[in-house]
Structure 1
Amino acid sequence: MELIELDRVTRSFTVRTKAGRWRRERRQVRAVDDLSFTVRAGECVGYLGPNGAGKSTTIKMLTGILVPSSGRLRVAGVDPARERVALARRIGVVFGHRTTLWWDLPLRDSFELVRRLYRIPPARYAANLARCVELLSLGDLLDTPVRQLSLGQRMRGDLAAALLHDPRVLYLDEPTIGLDVVSKNRVREFLREVNAAGTTVLLTTHDLTDIEQLCDRVMVIDHGRVVYDGDLPGLHLAGRSERTLVVDLVEEQPPIDLPGVRVVRTEGSRQYLAFPAEQSAAPLVAAVAERFPLRDLSVREPAIEDVIARMYARVPIG
């Protein structure tokens, strides 16, 4: 069944611009423009786009914070703008750049306030809390005030708080922003567990590794419209995106010449080799290692802005 439904949804804002020394003109700007898509129960969907594309506006409409200017919108069977209380019991929200926890209270007390806010039955709350504490390794942090938690610890606390009432849909906005590698991996593992258990996830992020590890489906939005809806390999093909192999050689060498590889630039003994993002890096790494002694190497993922820019360069939109 479709858990999220948008049918020709538009959201406009009035913007005042300077028109002379004393006058201001009003104009309408469409942050979301005739947007239609559905998300089925149990899906984990990456919702991508450059800054200003309309992602945050979409999420705010899906959570009932904003009302669409036109069109039809349903989440878990309710109209978000008209049935906010009913909707709140069916969704969870995590924003990577802000917290829903109480700053000066121990983590345990923040969770208890969530229980009271959502009126979660004691047995259900105890079971959900125990599960989240175990999966997110929060046992040693329950008596620590939120203000004393690291960013990664706070993010794990926010994820737990968002799931204590068993939401059917979980909205995630940059859930791994600013986290170290260990914290990112722990958050991703937890989200895989949550999605596998049946929770529908809509994820907005600029980190393509989040998408690769969590999502089977990707939607790209730009100028308020969906410009791509499919899997990640298809997105890379549509955008002709490239990953970059950064090679540190023992000695300076001429630009490495390999089939299907483009030398972006060289910096002494370091070379930057671009290759199609949908291809595995393993054969390229093996070929370079066979021909040259190496000090180090790493793979850089393409930025989503670059992928979309390539899509627009290839296929005019409008």
Structure 2
Amino acid sequence: MAVIEARDLRKDFTIRRRTGRFRREKRVVPAVDGLDLTVEAGEMLGYIGPNGAGKSTTLKMFTGVLYPSAGYVRVCGFEPVPQRVAMARRIGVVFGQRSQLWWDLPLGDSFDLLRHIYRVPAGDHAARLARCRRLLDLDGFIDQPVRQLSLGQRMRGELTAALLHGPSVLFLDEPTIGLDVVSKQAVRGFLADLGAAGDTTLVLTTHDLADIERLCRRLVVVDAGRIVHDGTLDDLHSRYGSQRRVVVDLDEPVEVEPQVTGAVLEATESGGRRLTYALSGPPGPLLAALAGTGRLRDVAFVEPEIEDVVAKLYTTGTSRASGRS
């Protein structure tokens, strides 16, 4: 069953630019340009692209914040803007720049107010809150005013607030941006468990490919308001040649660097104590070979920037188009 359906969805913005002392030029800029997308119940969808690609505009149309300029869109069977109030009971939203928590109230009071706003039965609310308190470790700060919480604590509160009414779809816009490592792990682990349960559809926009890799089985890449890739992250990397890199620190240089399929040595630094490999396969065989030398000290993975991935995607697409003409 599809929980999100969009066909030929568009959103245009009108920009006025001064062209003279008393004259202005009007220009229409498409932020979303003919989007076709279907998301099935229980999917975990990564919706990514460079800055200005139309990601946030799409989510705002899906959640009823913006009215489409043209096209068809339904979320949980509702038309988002005209039926926004009814749809709000079926969706949850976590936008980094907007909060649904009351700044001066204790976090727990915000949760209680949201129960009344969404008219959630007390038993259902208590069960969901207990689960979030356990999995997101809220007990240490649930009685503190929201304004006193750290960014990581506040994000865990936002996730809880978005889920207490039992939404069918959860929209997340950059949920781990600015978080420390511990908070990122907590948020990612919680969302992974939520998605694995299959009761909630997740739609995630982010610039952090680690979020996508950890959480999303399906990846949609947009640029200039259009979908340019719909598949898995592995499909994207294999199709356009973008590669992860692994930086390995050794106690002492190895006499002969291991030769492993799917790993190409790109750089040697610090007298052979730091090695950088480009990966086209799983990292396990390379790390096992290096660990077998007894000199492995530390390992760090470097993910390709999503802007670089999309740039390579479009460079490849342009070359193919030129070849056909």
Structure 1 counterpart of 2:136: 136
Residues 258 and 286 in structure 2, CA contact (< 8 A), matched pair in contact too = no
Identify the range of structure 1 (39-48 vs 15-24) with the bigger mean alpha-carbon deviation.
Answer: 15-24
Structure 1 counterpart of 2:225: 224
Distance in 2, Cα, partners of 1:146 & 1:49: 32
Structure 2 counterpart of 1:301: 303
Residues 255 and 271 in structure 1, CA contact (< 8 A), matched pair in contact too = no
CA shift for structure 1 position 176: 1.2
SS of corresponding position for 2:140: helix
Pair 1:3-2:3 in alignment: yes
**RMSD of Structure 2 on Structure 1 (CA):** 2.3
Identify the range of structure 1 (287-296 vs 184-193) with the bigger mean alpha-carbon deviation.
Answer: 287-296
Distance 1:20 1:161, change over 3 A: same
Q: Deviations over 1:200-252 (max 9, x none)?
A: 11011111121112111111111101111111211111221111121334467
- Unaligned 5+ runs, structure 2: none
Distance 1:251 1:142, change over 3 A: closer
Distance in 2, Cα, partners of 1:131 & 1:292: 43
Distance 1:77 1:20, change over 3 A: same
SS of corresponding position for 2:248: strand
SS of corresponding position for 1:236: helix
Residue type matched to 1:121 in 2?
Answer: P
SS of corresponding position for 2:81: coil
CA shift for structure 1 position 21: 5.3
Structure 1 counterpart of 2:109: 109
Distance in 1, Cα, partners of 2:17 & 2:265: 45
CA shift for structure 1 position 273: 2.3
Return the TM-score normalized by structure 1. Answer: 0.91
Residue type matched to 2:218 in 1?
Answer: R
Residue type matched to 2:180 in 1?
Answer: D
Structure 1 counterpart of 2:235: 234
Residues 91 and 171 in structure 2, CA contact (< 8 A), matched pair in contact too = yes
Residue type matched to 2:314 in 1?
Answer: Y
Identify the range of structure 1 (93-102 vs 267-276) with the bigger mean alpha-carbon deviation.
Answer: 267-276
Residues 239 and 309 in structure 1, CA contact (< 8 A), matched pair in contact too = no
Distance in 2, Cα, partners of 1:75 & 1:68: 13
CA shift for structure 1 position 261: 4.3
Structure 1 counterpart of 2:145: 145
1:314 pairs, out of 296, 313, 316, with 316
Identify the range of structure 1 (292-301 vs 302-311) with the bigger mean alpha-carbon deviation.
Answer: 292-301
CA shift for structure 1 position 71: 0.3
- Unaligned 5+ runs, structure 1: none
Identify the range of structure 1 (144-153 vs 21-30) with the bigger mean alpha-carbon deviation.
Answer: 21-30
Residues 258 and 290 in structure 2, CA contact (< 8 A), matched pair in contact too = no
SS of corresponding position for 1:315: helix
Distance in 1, Cα, partners of 2:79 & 2:143: 38
Structure 2 counterpart of 1:272: 276
Percent identity over the alignment is: 56
CA shift for structure 1 position 186: 1.5
Residues 172 and 201 in structure 1, CA contact (< 8 A), matched pair in contact too = yes
Distance in 2, Cα, partners of 1:97 & 1:265: 40
Residues 44 and 201 in structure 1, CA contact (< 8 A), matched pair in contact too = yes
Residues 97 and 174 in structure 1, CA contact (< 8 A), matched pair in contact too = no
CA shift for structure 1 position 263: 4.6
Residue type matched to 2:276 in 1?
Answer: Y
SS of corresponding position for 1:31: strand
Residue type matched to 2:159 in 1?
Answer: L
